[in-house]
Amino acid sequence: MASEGVARGYNIAMISPAPRSVADIEGFVGLLKAACENPQINATLERLLAMPDAQRQGVVRSWVSDLIIAGAPRELIEAVACLIDDAVAEQAYAVIYQYRRESIDNDRAGHV
* pLDDT tens digits along 51-74: 999 999 999 999 999 999 999 998
* Terminal Cα distance for the chain, rounded: 79
Q: Averaged over 39-61, what is the pLDDT?
A: 92
Of the candidates 32, 33, 26, the one whose C-alpha atom is nearest the C-alpha of residue 48 is 32
Please give the Cα distance from 33 to 41 (Å, whole number): 10
Q: For residue 38, how many C-alpha atoms fall within 13 Å in the half-sphere facing its CB?
A: 10
pTM, two decimals, is 0.68
Q: Averaged over 74-98, what is the pLDDT?
A: 89
Contacts of 112 (CB under 8 A, 6+ apart): none
Secondary structure (3-state) at 91: helix
Chain centroid offset of residue 43 CA: 14
Residue 88, Cβ neighbours under 10 Å: how many?
Answer: 17
- Angstrom CA distances, 24 to 78, 79, 104, stand at 11, 10, 30
pLDDT at 18 over 50: no
Please give the share of the chain, as a percent, with pLDDT higher than 90.
32
Please give the Cα distance from 97 to 46 (Å, whole number): 7
pLDDT at 112 over 90: no
Position 10 confidence tier, pLDDT thresholds 50, 70, 90: very low
